[in-house]
Structure 1
Amino acid sequence: MTIIQPIKSETVSKQTKLYLVPSVDKEFGPEWFHPKFSPMPSALSDLPELHQWSESFVIKVLEVWSGRRALSQLSRNCHRSVLKKINEQMCSLTQRCQIRKFYFHQPIEGVVEVTVTLRVIDRVRSLILRFEGVDKRWICTELTLL
């Protein structure tokens, strides 16, 4: 016979806090990841203001796609895998486009997912980005153009 014991209220009321574990750039192998030199998560108070920074970053990406900015100017704030994606999609968005709206979602502290709607001629497209706050700066770890 199995006896089921009730759950104590103090175990339910304790909330576990999620925290950022910086993602590893897929372009580097495991030999590049060393605990002593790995990126350190930053508190929101140590990071640049998100709305202005992300708007500036998206404008820079669009300028790269239109050929008015060098791809290397984004390297400080991107994983190499993201730079590779930006480079691959460079010819897919050569037309003039306008930024319509930004949507922000923060699943945990230090991680922000941004969706940007773009107007390209007569179509609406979405640019989806994920930023992680590490080493007191925002790093783009994922970018997708739909």
Structure 2
Amino acid sequence: MSQPPSAAPSDGRPLRTLADVEEHFAPQHAPTASLPDPEPLLTALTRGVLEVLAGVREPEQLARWLTDEPYRSLVTRAALAVRARSARRAPAMRPVYALRSIRHSSPADGVVEAVVVVETPQRTRAVALRLEGIDRRWRATSLSVL
């Protein structure tokens, strides 16, 4: 006969609640000391985002470095860029740019806020990012191309 759900396991282990299980499997925040240098990721993410917006890279390739909200925002913005290029009948072309500066600071342990200044032939842009240590790696929780 099976035990009712509220009964403790017969081996003496304490009963775990659903909240305990969810907390155990939820994303775990990591301290800065256990994370790699964020600058290579800042550079790679900026390059990747510019390529996605130019239509030469799929947003899915950046998904592992983005949380849900910035990923959805990037997908939406990439779709708008595709529509705009289609209306102008312009092909997707690899962007020409130079990374001019990367500035970052850490407002809290396991958090990096950064701005990357990018120069293109048409204009100079800024990419603002917030990285947080989640599950022992950096992930962008906020991303804006200005």
Instruction: Give your verdict on TM over 0.5.
Output: yes
Larger Rg: 2
Query: Which residue does the alignment assign to 1:135?
Result: 135
1:1-146 equivalences in 2 (<5 Å): 34-90=22-78, 91=81, 96-146=96-146
Helix, strand or coil at the partner of 2:60:
helix
Aligned residues: 113
For residues 104 and 65 of structure 1, the distance between their equivalents in structure 2, rounded to whole angstroms, comes to 23
Task: Work out the CA distance in 1 between the residues paired with 2:119 and 2:142.
Answer: 21
Greater shift, 133-142 or 48-57, is seen at 48-57
- What is the rounded CA distance, in whole Å, between the counterparts of 1:141 and 1:104 in structure 2? 15
Other structure's SS at 1:35 match:
helix
Whether the 8 Å contact between 2:129 and 2:144 is mirrored in structure 1 is yes
1:131 Cα deviation after fit: 0.4
- Per-residue CA deviation, residues 64-118 of structure 1 (Å, 9 max, x unaligned), is 2222222111111111211121122221897533321111011011100010111
**Would the aligned equivalents of 1:66 and 1:96 in 2 still touch at CA under 8 Å?**
no
Cα 1:101–1:133, aligned 2, differ >3 Å: closer, same or farther?
A: same
Unaligned runs of 5+ residues in structure 1 are 1-33
Unpaired runs of at least 5, structure 2: 1-21, 86-91
Say whether the 8 Å CA contact 1:111–1:131 is kept in structure 2: yes
Report the AA paired with residue 82 of structure 1.
P
